[in-house]
Structure 1
Amino acid sequence: MGKKDLLSTEPYKGVRDFYPEDQAFLNYLIATFRGALERWGYVEYNASILEPSEIYKAKGSENEEVVREQTYTFVDRGEREVTLRPEMTPTVARMVAGRRRELGFPLRWYSIPNCFRYERPQRGRLREFWQLNVDIFGSSSLAADAEIIAVSHAIMMALGAKQSDFIIKLGSRMYLDTLMQNLNFDEVQGKKLLILLDRSSKMPAGDFERELGEMGVSLEMLSPKTPPQDVLDVMERLKMMGIENAVFDLGVVRGFDYYTGVVFEIFDTDPKNSRSIFGGGRYDNLLALFDDEKVPAVGAAAGDETLRNFLETRNLMPTYLPPTKVYVALTSESLVKEANKVAETLRQGGVAVSVDFGEKKLSDQIKTATKHKIPYLLVVGENELSSGTFVVRDLVSGEEKSLSRDGLLSFFLNL
């Protein structure tokens, strides 16, 4: 087969391969999510990656456009239209509605699914991504809104951030809905205003005010002297929890039509990262798509790629350490059985060990251990086996230590 006939080693556009270091970071992120959320009493759920397309179309005409242009949607062999989930909120709404009478409210749930959107890949936005989703069902209290934001804040802090590293911006869809009603805006005009507000931070101030004026809206209408009451209440609750980096910003509207109350987004204070890290808000009507009894809800989401960008910018990325602690190198291929006996003693004691097959020179085996970033090397040869004394080398510092066979386990366990 000629080179021109070889398949590409590149992944599909907009998705990633997770080599061990990448997978280790994703595992770290997920473990941090789980640890922080479960301390607050949240429990994990999951669901299939496939959903009937109607679950997204039912949220409104704008969402039909999303299904048509930004999702991976296909017709299966049973002539059913199916979509790879672009988000988790409709799925969890379906699940909660399906067992509403059996579940105890308020309900605190979270999930960390992979999602798919057919978008132009760019910094912080890929076609496949892992997304934390955290929700409270069954409470209309603004204390629930404050808790969702506080939990998001807690996750940021668990990842090593300081409050000065990020800002929490709060808006109010209820305030905007009331404003649009007072202005007698129809659905088209209302959507146009929301889109304009969403773009406002990226526009020159003069252009924003001009477009507002063309719609008959003054800047004063969007800049109340005090935040709307729902936002004010949530901000006061956050301050009582020691959260000082929350501000009111009416430009935070969130993209989906289903939001009904307080909405929020978390941003890096470093301008290198312009995309929101967390986002969410109250959505009291979404479960009505599945059930005739209203279940109030509030939730938030965060993507793995935007969080990675934040951690890289802030020098908060965890150091990669492989799970293997010891690499056993052999002076001869014939010593594999004896090397495995040594390794098995260590494994039974709780030490992760990888044994070379002895097919390469000792120097090449050491290079292999170094490439894998395994911290310790143990050489097994005829001399070591006959004397019962083994040399352990720290592959980072280069230091060596001679140990008896019986002393190996305690040495590695006490590092």
Structure 2
Amino acid sequence: MIRYGQQDITQADIDAVIAVMKSVNLTQGPAITQFEQSVIAHCGAKHAVAVNSATSALHIACLALGLGPGDLLWTTPNTFVASANCALYCGAQVDFVDIDPQTWNLSPQALEAKLIAAEKAGCLPKIVVPVHLTGQPCDMKAIHALSQRYGFKIIEDASHAIGGRYKGESIGSGRYSDITVFSFHPVKIITTAEGGMALTNSDELAIRLGLLRSHGITRDPDLMTQSMDGPWYYQQVALGFNYRMTDIQAALGVSQMTRLNSYVARRHEIAQRYNQLLADLPLTLPWQHPDSYSAWHLYVIRLQLDKIQRTHRQVFEALRAKDIMVNLHYIPIHTQPYYAKMGFKSGDFPEAEKYYSEAISIPMFPTMTEAQQDEVIAVLKEALGA
């Protein structure tokens, strides 16, 4: 069986985790800070707040930016549901912006057109969440320019994209956004088993994120609203959550970070080989914008259904029948039953829906061998009838 993605755990990772398990700090200890600092050093952001999942990071990012009832958050329909659900957790409303037909990311042109109409209707978004699908960054400069004109905040959902770059800078630097979110799920670029992180260059947002991560409780006298009763004293100054990452997870993350660049470089090698060996098949291969250096979390092909005699489902099932465990990223959020109850329907975002009707994520992970890749390609050719 060849999975579409999988983690790489080395003896160094195991040793790092065991060292923490033998220490006095299993959670809220020094490994958290070490992990945060390693990501800061790579990305060039000022602050990082590690949490137990990227979903938690998205939630507290929305809260830190003041999202609440009566507000709007816009994102792409072509993403995992967490990119939109984070708004609902805050009591806000969600809408979507269709994707670019080349990059498959949120389209700046569609965003601008929707903003023009929203301004006239008096319903501009408070937050826009561009998602770096497959690891390729969105056109953040264009989106940021629109934020300056229309007054919305930006959360980069970079769950797929740690290790990538945009215009020569590491994704996560925060040049074109207020907060960037990473995921460390096992199939992502690096893993902490489960985990996420929010990065920002704002001192104020970093304090807010840190409070929201841990029940809204602080021991910092500067953040308290009254004097301390004694050295035991703490105050809850906000309504926060238990979204903390453990030191066990953080230790794994620190170890994995030492291989981040090599992981991404290997993913580029695999992608380049796919590009070469799949070029003559009836497929649309992932196009890469010259301003981007993708983290290549996923390698997505799109079937040219007018050139083959099989359906999307038939090709997908034929691959899985031969133990090529492909996947589909993603079912457009607005077509999910929960969102349909809000009034969204098929046909609302045609580019995202067309993408969904053709897309298949084929195996891509840094320990993938050429023999495994050759097997994927051979079975894919057979499934296409090529």
Which bracket does the TM-score occupy, shorter chain normalised?
A: under 0.3
Bigger radius of gyration: 1
Higher relative contact order (CA 8 A, sep 6+): 2
TM-score (norm 1): 0.21
TM-score (norm 2): 0.22
Structure number with the higher strand fraction is: 1
